[in-house]
Chains A and B, each alone.
Chain A
Amino acid sequence: MDTREIGARKTRAVRHSALVRVTHWLTFLSFAALLITGGEIVISHPRFYWGETGNVNMRPLFVLPIPASRTTVPTGYKYVMPDQNGWSRYLHFQSAWVLVLTALVYGIAGLLNGHFRRNLIPERRDWTWRAYWARLAQYLHRQPPGRDESRSYNVLQRTAYLIVIFVLFPLMIWTGLAMSPSFTSAVPATAALLGGRQSARTLHFLLSGLLLLFVLVHIAMITLSGFRNRMRAMITGYNEATPELRKERP
């Protein structure tokens, strides 16, 4: 199945494999659920600490300037937010499972079929700062993507995706498990290595901020490079070849 031939004949290029498309949307759905429910859970105690323990009698590392959903948390607001922790927690952990199982399928398949090697590890010729600068300059000058980008990712994309997939998500899972009194009874190091349970909770929150930042930049870049075309590619797998595509750079 040589997809490049089909692509050339129909002036369309295969951009995303079925595996990438299915796991992308499952990840999107579960991440959205995790983010919303995570926010709901944080509202019940919008204070963060460093170390093993932390509560309203202790000095926080930082406090979110929002009202809480529990009356026991002093926030400076008279208003107490509606408490949605019950279903939020059920959905948070169920979505985490969807995400972990999706990641497992994606990770194993990506290793076996060469997706990581082919599409995510930066190409050998891009292993220089100049390659990064050139790509960054292209973004800053608001130049449209080149033809070479229609089938695969450029070095900035590859780096961002690698960080999200192999650094941020694993850290998210680690910091999440470090808050489980049951899991840490089996593997105490999950919490101890992070400096304690409250450190894990604070890191879990900060990491979710980084992931949200990635999503916002991701959506902004998709919008800039043609929202409809990029969405079509992530749903059907194909790009529509557009006439305004720049000539291939030398």
Chain B
Amino acid sequence: MSRISRRKLITLGLATAAGASGVTEAARLARRYALVPPDGGGIFGPGETLTYACQRLLTVRTPAREFARSMISKKPFANAVAPPTEEFKRLQAGGFRDWRLGVDGTVARPTSFSLADLKSLPIRSQITEIACEEGWSYIAEWIGTPLSGVLREVGVLPQTRYIVYYAIEKGLWESIDMADAMHPDTLLTLGMNDGDLPVPFGGPLRLRVPRQLGYKSLKYVTHITATDDIKKFGKGLGSVDPEYGYAWYAGI
């Protein structure tokens, strides 16, 4: 049979050693520079870590794609949502005047905002596309106040690494890293196109994260917690998505 020459063997050995130490070193650097996502363990960990690390290095400050006003979808599609809770119905009956957004965690001044409080902060709008992991999408103008401004308002502490956000429905929560949280396009959204954000689209308050798929843009947000330790939340995978088998990072 074929004899493996000494030269070939040495080359192969060196290549294997270089490859193995390269992978170990890359893993060490990824951990050091916080490029491993919270769901970066398990069999799909390597792929998720590669995607998250590469995209994070590439896109820290890049703006979400914006579109001309003429491209706003005439018939946006509101995805199915769980039936409203009793609490939601009560708040809706009151015109959402009692809707509160609590902000706590690693912040200097934990605060509870009403929708009017949020509207008094600097308002910004963007015409961006929302794309569902299923494949469909639409473009709308989203109007609201950047999450970064709210975080500065409450004095977010420097050790903060993730922003966790909760929907009114129990058990529905998400998180994003600080690159996305402080990004000017990440918007606490109160309005859509020409009016208030309609309930089917997440009204009265939705956190738009336009550089990730739709499921990161959580509807009916009532609570935000800043944290330096994402492992303390839920099963420690960063959001409720990995518990259902979906990736925490959805920049794809």
Which of A's residues lie within 8 Å of B, judged by CB? 1, 6, 41-42, 44-45, 47, 52-58, 70-73, 85-87, 89-91, 93-97, 179-186, 188, 191, 197-198, 201, 237
Contact = CB atoms under 8 A, between A and B. Distances in A.
Interface of B: 2, 5, 8, 44, 46-48, 50-51, 55, 58-59, 62-65, 67, 71, 73, 75-77, 79-80, 129, 131-139, 210-213, 244-247, 251-252
A93 B135 contact: no
Nearest to B137: A53
Contacts of A71: 80
Contact of B67 (A52, A93, A180, A182): A52
Nearest to B56: A182
A6 B252 contact: no
B133 A179 contact: no
A93 B134 CA distance: 15
Contacts of A58: 73, 75
Contact of B245 (A45, A87, A93, A97): A87
Contacts of A197: 129, 131, 137
B75 to A, nearest CB: 4
Main SS of chain B's interface residues? loop
B58 A72 contact: no
Given A90-B247, A181-B65, A53 B138 contact: yes
Contacts of B71: 52-53
9 contacts: A44-B134, A72-B79, A85-B134, A90-B245, A94-B47, A96-B47, A183-B59, A183-B252, A198-B137
A48 to B, nearest CB: 9
B46 A54 contact: no
Given A87-B245, A181-B252, 10 more contacts: A42-B135, A55-B136, A85-B246, A90-B44, A93-B47, A97-B47, A180-B251, A183-B55, A183-B58, A197-B137
A186 to B, nearest CB: 5
Given A86-B246, A183-B251, A55 B65 contact: no
B137 to A, nearest CB: 5
A111 to B, nearest CB: 17
Closest 4 CB pairs of A and B: A86-B245, A94-B47, A182-B251, A57-B75
Contact of B134 (A1, A45, A91, A191): A45
**Looking at A52, A55, A197, A201, which has the most chain B CB atoms within 10 Å of its CB?**
A55
A186 B244 CA distance: 29
B139 A52 contact: yes
